[in-house]
Structure 1
C-alpha cells in the first residue's frame, strides 16, 4: 500500500468479541479512523482498550474480527508495509540497544524525529542505551520515533505516560501536525490532553464502544470527568 497519494484512507474495525473466562470484555465494537483525524479511545482501566488496539494491529488474534482499510480486509494488519504503527504499553524495542540503533531499526532519521526535542537528541547522540533512559524519556523517544515513520495509521497506547508537562505540550503539537499525513488512534488516561487533540471520541465501557457526540459533557455525565 503506497503512501504517495493524498486522498483519505479509512480504517474500520468491527466483529470483535472477546471474553476472559465468563467475563465479556469486548462485545459490541465498531470503530472508524480516517487519515487526517485524531481519534480518542477512552475508558477505565481494564475495560479492554489495549486489547482492542492489539486486535486492530494484529498482535492479538480474535476469531471473526474484521479490520478493514478502504473496505479491504487486513488481518493481521502489521505485516502490510507502510500501513500501521503501534505503540504498546510495554517497551517497544530491546533495552540493550543504543537509542540511535533503535531508530535505525524503525527506519527513522533520528535527527529529524527529535528535531523539536534538542535535549533528547543530545542524549541519543551520546550513545545512551534505551535501558539507561528514564521511563518518561524512553516513552517520549518511542512516540517520536513512531510519529516520524511513514504509516497510514498510528495506534498509541498511553503516549503521555510519565512524560513531563512541558514535553506533553510539544508532543501534542507534533501529533496535531502528524494528522496531516496519517490517522491517529490514541488511548490515554490524561483525558484533558487527549480531548484537546481529538476530532472524534469513543468511550469503551461494559464491552461496548460508544461514539460521543458531546465528549466533555457526556464524559462528565458518566462520571469520567469532574463536574
Structure 2
C-alpha cells in the first residue's frame, strides 16, 4: 500500500481585509521530497507557509498531514503535528546554548531537575545524525554564525519529530561555503525521509536541490512540475507571466567610460589593507570574494562608516578625507546598504518621505529642483505603488529597493555603491533592477557593485575586483568565468602569480 503524502493541501483560500491573497491553491509533498515553492514577491508564498506553520488559518480548503485532516490556530499545534518552519528571522534565544534552544520547553528531567547531561547528549546525537561535527551543544547561540544558527533550528525541528520542514529563503544570508553545508543538510534530510518545502528566489538552488516545483502567481496555482521537466527560462516565464531571458542586459548603447570618479590608493584599516581601486564614470566595477573577504568593509570604508585609517580616497580627482557618511554624501557618494529594512528605509513612512530622506537630512543638498525631480526618479525606476503616500512597508521587496535607490539618486551622486542590491527580491524584480543599474552607468554614474551571487557580478560588471582575506587578490574583465573568479577568491591565484 502506498504511503499517503506528508502534506496534501487542497483548495486553500486566504484573504486579509477582504483582499484575496490565496485562491484555490493546492500543494502536495511526498515523504523525503524536496519541494520548491516559487513566485514573485506578493505571489502568496509567505501566506501559504504561515498557514502551514499555524500563524494564519485558511479561510477555506483542507490540509492533511500523513493522510490525517488537520487545522491549526496556533504554531504549537503545527509543531506537534510534525510541521516545522525555519523563517529568515530565526526563533532562537541567543543567550542560551545550542542544546537549550533545541530542547526549549521540552527539557529532559531527572529527579525534578533539568538533566543537562542528557540534553547535551541528545543534541550531540541529533547533530551527528545530520553529519555536523563542528557545532558544540554547549555553544551559546548568540556567538554562532548564521549557518550554525540555521543548523540549530533544523536540529530543533528534528527533535520535535518534524515530518515536514519549511525553509524560507534559507541561503539569503549565507556565504558560499555555508550554502554548500546547507545543501548537505538538505540531502541528509531527504535520506532520512523528512520532506522539505524550499522557498527561494535563487533558481540555481531550486534546480540543484528540488524534486518538484510549485509555482504561484497573484495568489493562484500556476503549475506543479517535476524539476527535470522545466528549464530556468520557462520557470521564470511561469512565475512572472511573460518571457524574461535569464541573460543579463547588455551595456546600453551610448554608455561611455569617462574620467575616474572614485580612486582609492593604499586604503586600509583594521579589516582591509592595500586597497587600490578605481571606478570611472559610466563603469560598473564588481567586488567579488567569499564572505568575510572584505567586500562590504570596502563599501563601508569608502562611505565613511568604518573609514580608511591609511591611504587616500579621491572623488572626481579631489582627495577627500571621508570619516563619516555625512562627509561621503558631501563628496558625492551614495551607498545602498545590504539590509534595506534595517538601514535603508523608514518602513512606517511613505514612499515620498523615504525618497526625500537624504535631501531632508542634508540641508546643502535640499533644493526645489531636486525635490521636484523625485516623482520623475520614481517613475524612471518603474516603482509600483498605490501612490507616493503609501507606507513603504506595504511594498514588495523589489519596490522597496527601488525607493532606497531613489532616495540616493535624488541627491545626484557621482558614485553609487550597491551592496547586495537584489537580496530577497524575486526574479522579475531582479531583471528590472539589472536594467536600471545599466541605466545608471549610461547616465555617467560610477557604480561599485557587491553581490554574493557570483553570476550577478560576472553578468553586470565591466571589471571584477576579487578580494581574499581583506586584500585585492586580482582583477578580471566582466564576463570572466566563475572558476577564474574563485581561483582568486580562494587564494589559489594572486596578482603575484606569473602570467
CA displacement 1:33-83 (0-9 Å, x = unmatched): 0111000001111222111111111222332241112442112151425x1
Please name the residue that 2:266 is paired with.
Answer: 15
Shift of the alpha carbon at 1:105? 2.8
Contact 1:9 1:152 in 2 (8 A): no
Question: In the alignment, what sits opposite 2:276?
Answer: 30
- What's the counterpart of residue 178 of structure 1? 440
Q: Does 1:166 find its partner at 2:428? A: yes
Ranges in structure 1 where 5+ consecutive residues have no aligned partner: 1-5, 20-24
Identify if the C-alpha distance between structure 1 residues 37 and 138 changes in structure 2 by more than 3 Å, giving closer, same or farther: same
Higher RCO by CA contacts (8 Å cutoff, separation 6 or greater): 1
1: CA distance, partners of 2:445 / 2:346: 26
Secondary structure of the equivalent of 1:15?
strand
Deviates more, 1:6-15 or 1:157-166: 6-15
Match of 2:471 in 1: 208
Following the alignment from structure 1 to structure 2, what is the Cα–Cα distance between the partners of residues 79 and 205?
28
CA 1:146–1:190 in structure 2 vs 1: closer, same or farther (change >3 Å)?
farther
- The corresponding residue for 2:333 is 84
**Root-mean-square deviation over aligned CA pairs:** 2.6
CA offsets per residue over residues 15-49 of structure 1, 9 Å max, x none? 32233xxxxx3122111101110000011112221
Offset, 1:140: 3.6
**Matches of 1:126 and 1:178 in 2, distance apart?**
22
State the partner residue of 1:49: 295
Offset of 1:97 from its aligned partner? 1.8
Matches for 1:52-201 after TM superposition, within 5 Å: 52-76=298-322, 77-80=327-330, 83-90=332-339, 91-106=343-358, 107=370, 109-115=373-379, 118=382, 120-123=383-386, 125=387, 127-147=389-409, 149-180=411-442, 181-201=444-464
Confirm or deny: 8 A CA contact 1:39 1:201 kept in the other structure: yes
Superposition TM-score, scaled by structure 2 size: 0.39
Displaced runs of 4 or more, over 4 A: none
Tell me the distance in 1 between the aligned counterparts of 2:282 and 2:410: 16
Q: Which moved more, 1:85-94 or 1:175-184?
A: 85-94
Aligned to 1:3: none
Q: Give the number of equivalent residue pairs.
A: 211
1:219 aligns with 2:485: yes
3-state SS in 2 of match to 1:212: strand
- Distance in 2 (alpha carbons) for counterparts of 1:33 and 1:111: 29
CA contact (8 A) 2:314 2:320 kept: yes
Kept after mapping to 2: 8 A contact 1:13/1:32: yes
Q: Give the Cα–Cα distance (whole angstroms) in 2 for the partners of residues 223 and 27 of structure 1.
A: 16
Give the stretch that moved more between structures: 199-208 or 189-198.
189-198
**SS at the partner of 2:476?**
coil
Following the alignment from structure 1 to structure 2, what is the Cα–Cα distance between the partners of residues 49 and 202?
A: 10
**Is the 1:9–1:70 Cα contact (8 Å) retained in structure 2?**
yes
Q: Which runs of 5+ in 2 are unaligned?
A: 1-256, 359-369, 491-499
Cα separation, 2, equivalents of 1:162 and 1:199: 24
CA distance in 2: counterparts of 1:210 and 1:63, whole angstroms: 21
Name the CA distance, whole Å, in 1 between partners of 2:453 and 2:399.
17
- Aligned match of 1:22: none
> Looking at CA atoms only, which structure, 1 or 2, has the larger radius of gyration?
2
